Amino acid sequence: MPLFDLPPSELAGYLGDLPEPEDFDAFWERTIAATRALPLHLALAKVETPWRLVDTYDVSFAGFGGAPIKAWLTVPAGATGPLPAVVQYHGHTRGRGFPHTDLLWATAGYAHFSMDNRGQGSGSGGPGAGTPDPDAAAGLPHAPGYLTLGITDPETFFYRRLYTDAARLLQAAAATELVDPARIIVTGASQGGGIALAAAALAAHVDVDLLGVAADVPYLCAFPRAVALADRRPYDEVTAYLAAWRDRTETVYRTLSYFDGALLGRRASAPALFSVGLMDRTCPPSSVYAAFNRYGAHSARPVEKSINVYGHNGHEGGGDYQTAAQAEFFARLVHQAARRSHG
């Protein structure tokens, strides 16, 4: 699998040509405000598991349009809080899975939220996944998958609902007694990485000041570049759609621009750790760099950010190497927050 994108020297400063709609901020302010006006309906129910070193809670909260969204909350056994929290978003077709699907961050001492992706979940299996999407644009033509579902209008696009769910989970996490609302970190890989960038941008709209962001080989970034280069799902869903609906190119890319992680990330200000695989044909390196290089650009203060580069890896990225880097990054942020709180 050879290098196929720009050389590293050009990637380092790559921004991409990403037109931004004039009503970008107004669209998201209105979208989040409409869901915030609805009751949160946060509910936690402790579940029995054979995993004695952690406690697990079945979480439900009202996401976009008030639809019930599921998540797992896992904490160290016996924890009473308030704990630093890691909010994790999942990849394409993934969901929260089983209560034991991911115990990693709880064993490191965090309150770990694992959110279901509405309408997805088939890729991870298990009865815990499978939160439905009652607002799906049923009957509208789209390519198989999610990237063109409702794509003729930002109001009906699938990711409007999913990004709002992600922001709403931050509101729910901050309202949970086990969580310290001043120490919330978001993370995710692939689609989860793109959602994490969106959540970082939208956190202020739900009055959450994020402690950090970890976006691992993020999807949903620099759409025009990614679609032009990627030869596999999910980006090729756009290619398939436009191959059939040849007159909708402008409409499709305008809709996608509202949901571009490279544009949303400009609004974020939390310290960020990215990763990229230079042989990644699913999320081309230049699309990741466009998001990284633009991240925090609208912030009034300098934003800490770094990117780990895996030169011989594809969409698997750094794997356990990146997990170890994230653990170190999270621990440093939590330590710094503790020092600040103690003067």
Q: What residues are annotated to the active site? A: 190, 280, 315
The amino acid at residue 36 is R
Determine the angle formed by the axes of helices 249-257 and 236-244, rounding to 10 degrees: 150
Question: CA triplet 119, 291, 304: central angle to 5 degrees?
Answer: 115
- What are the tokens at 304? 């800490």
The amino acid at residue 260 is D
Distance, CA of 187 to CA of 270 (rounded, Å): 12
Length of the chain: 343
Distance, CA of 117 to CA of 158 (rounded, Å): 11
The answer to whether the beta carbons of residues 268 and 215 sit under 8 Å apart is no
User: What are the residues whose beta carbons fall under 8 Å from the beta carbon of 128, sequence distance 6 or more?
Assistant: 70, 72, 95, 96, 97, 98, 99, 101, 116
- What are the tokens at 168? 């709403």
